[in-house]
Structure 1
């Protein structure tokens, strides 16, 4: 006969901590970052809010543990990480295209990441600053490779990538929150997302073209 595992204070604490951590994710998805108060988190977890301070010291520490445990940007890169590992400073256009297309698909599907990005641009916090820094570090490898390929080019690949990423975020958030068109494109439809992906390819083809020149 299998012996029943002892469920003592340590196990109770671990379960309670995990419930509180999981509750942060539920609140982000359902109420957004503005709902991340101790009362909401504790109620969602079915626990006393005093446990937040007992186990984590503060609400901020609890939220930080949850957010830093989520690899939003790593997951959003898709197969681009594999492409970077194999790359030797050539054909980096394919890497950036994969990064952007994967990010569009992932960001559109992941409501939690949408709420995190809204939080980043709406409120200045240490948690979101650290998340942004982590995102930037993920881009370092690509830019290092792109610099090798584009060293004799006038193209500013960082500015182009920034505009494309920002455009992806804004168009997705706009479509999700208003269910309306943006520049006569419906990102909530597959045809709309396909048009954005085609535009990404066109822009990068132009930027990487040997004939590309910046205007005055």
Structure 2
């Protein structure tokens, strides 16, 4: 890919991010994206093949679970150096922080639960693939309780998604906790850590 196409590619991806953050997925029209990027519409098809591929490329490269968590999981072995409990806690804390801080990720999350379409199904599948890798790693640790560990993880992940979205939207306190303060965030993450520790001690391999 020559330098002009690389520049156009980057500008198109940046435009998708800006529009997604400000207007949500309904603003992702090819004319709007190309105008924001300052490139001709033909380059979308030349570089990405389709508008959907452009949007998917942006989302996957910026999605916490599909991209960032996968990279961490791929390079950190589950062994005596990096324990499973510590890795799970790390992922949950980073998930909460990333969703709270990243407007495009917030919009993507809202998109994924507001309608069903092939693009969102692929994104969700990519996230599930990372999670499945962790569940495979956890089988040796939880044994017959691994199904329960999946349920425990589903509740934790969903709760943190909702709390981060709630806080980012500026909708006030949740159970009396102001999630937009340092103390509020720390209280939530401390609670998650304690729940995590309890589960591992109760159901993990002795």
TM-score by length of 2: 0.82
Aligned to 1:75: 68
Contact 1:24 1:66 in 2 (8 A): yes
Q: What are the ranges of 5 or more consecutive residues in structure 1 without an aligned counterpart?
A: 1-9
Contact 2:135 2:146 in 1 (8 A): no
Q: What are the ranges of 5 or more consecutive residues in structure 2 without an aligned counterpart?
A: none
State the 1:28 CA deviation. 1.2
Where do 1:1-216 residues align within 5 Å? 11-53=3-45, 55-73=47-65, 74-76=67-69, 84-87=76-79, 91-153=83-145, 156-210=148-202
Structure 2 CA distance for aligned equivalents of residues 47 and 165 of structure 1 = 39
When the two structures are aligned, how many residues end up with a matched partner? 201
Structure 1 CA distance for aligned equivalents of residues 51 and 71 of structure 2 = 32
TM-superposition CA deviations, 1:150-189 (whole Å, max 9, x none):
1154870111111111111111111111341111111111
- Larger Rg: 1 or 2? 1
Contact 2:60 2:123 in 1 (8 A): yes
- Which shows bigger deviation, 11-20 or 120-129? 11-20
- Which shows bigger deviation, 101-110 or 164-173? 101-110
Judging by fraction of residues, say which structure has more helix. Answer: 2
TM-superposition CA deviations, 1:79-106 (whole Å, max 9, x none):
6665x50426x95222211211121122
State the 1:11 CA deviation. 4.6
Structure 2 CA distance for aligned equivalents of residues 106 and 77 of structure 1 = 14
State the 1:57 CA deviation. 4.2
Contact 1:179 1:188 in 2 (8 A): no
Q: Which has the higher contact order (CA 8 A, sep 6+)?
A: 2
